[in-house]
Amino acid sequence: MGIKERHERDREAISRAILDAARELFVAEGYQHVSIRKIAERIEYSPAAIYGYFPSKDDIFFALAEEGFRLLGQPNDATDLEKLQTLGPLDRIRASFWRLYQFSREQPQYFALMFVDRSVPRITREYDRFTFVRDMKSRIVGQIQECIDAGSLPSSVDPSVACRLLTMAMIGVAVMRLSDRLAPAENADDLAADVLNVTIAGLQAGVPLQSTVTECAVDEAPPQQRSARGDL
């Protein structure tokens, strides 16, 4: 291994140590209560050394958020991906939103940072960096539209509103589990499955929805960019 390769490997290892330490501290103490100095102390580095990798605490969060959303969007393995592709439109929707709950179990720290902590910066500040997240949502909205076109869901269903409702349903159960708000005898997985199935059944039944199409945090462009992005 050459000097350049060794340097890159060492730099990646230090960057990884910074991110891991920051993720643990952000979740344990809350983003707003963690400083660069505290992260540096955790990995026994100087604050100045941290700044050599990340210009600010916000930049550390954005790196973690990007990792988290990419983990969320990836099937666990090739078998899962192949199985997903063989499912019918409605079962594919069910599997996609089950993945959100499953992610909260597999990656609770990332989930807490991405969906629970209110003090973290909005990812709209890094609009171009998170284009792939908006693409993920667009694919799911498209899958819901496929269900409507196939007759699995009524034509009255707005696919964007349905996407939002299903997202909120799964996040709600995940947050209740992570915050230990469930009764001792409750099974979180069973509750999540029931909530998902009942929400889908409600959509299938054509229950009138009061919600309107509202762009969520990952869709909104910052004000200075909206004028240049008339399609959003």
Name residues whose C-beta falls within 8 Å of residue 206's C-beta, 6 or more positions apart in sequence: 154, 156, 157
Q: What's 69-119 look like in SS3?
A: HHHHHCCCCHHHHHHHHHCCHHHHHHHHHHHHHHHHHHCHHHHHHHHCCCC
Q: Rounded to whole angstroms, how far apart are CA atoms 166 and 182?
A: 20
Q: What tokens were used for 49?
A: 């050394």
pLDDT tens for the chain, residues 1 to 232: 677 788 889 999 999 999 999 999 999 999 999 999 999 999 999 999 999 999 999 999 999 999 999 999 986 655 566 777 788 999 999 999 999 999 999 999 999 999 999 999 999 899 999 999 999 999 999 999 999 999 999 999 999 999 999 999 999 999 999 999 999 999 999 999 999 999 999 999 999 999 886 554 444 444 444 333 333 2
Which residues have a Cβ under 8 Å from the Cβ of 62 and sit 6 or more positions away?
121, 123, 125, 126, 129
Cα(163)–Cα(144) distance, rounded to whole angstroms? 8
Identify the pLDDT of residue 228.
34
pLDDT at residue 76 in the model? 62
Among 64, 18, 24, CA closest to 37: 18
CA–CA gap between residue 195 and residue 189 (Å, rounded): 10
pLDDT in the model for residue 77:
59
Question: What pLDDT is stored for residue 217 in this prediction?
Answer: 44
Please list, residue by residue across 38-64, b when 16 or more beta carbons sit within 10 angstroms of its beta carbon and e when fewer do: ebbebeebeeeebeebbeebeebbbbb
In order of their start, the domains of the chain are: 3-55 (1.10.10.60), 66-226 (1.10.357)
- Calpha distance 143→163 (Å, rounded): 10
This prediction has a pTM of 0.87
Query: To the nearest 5 percent, what fractions of the chain are helix, strand and coil?
Result: 70, 0, 30
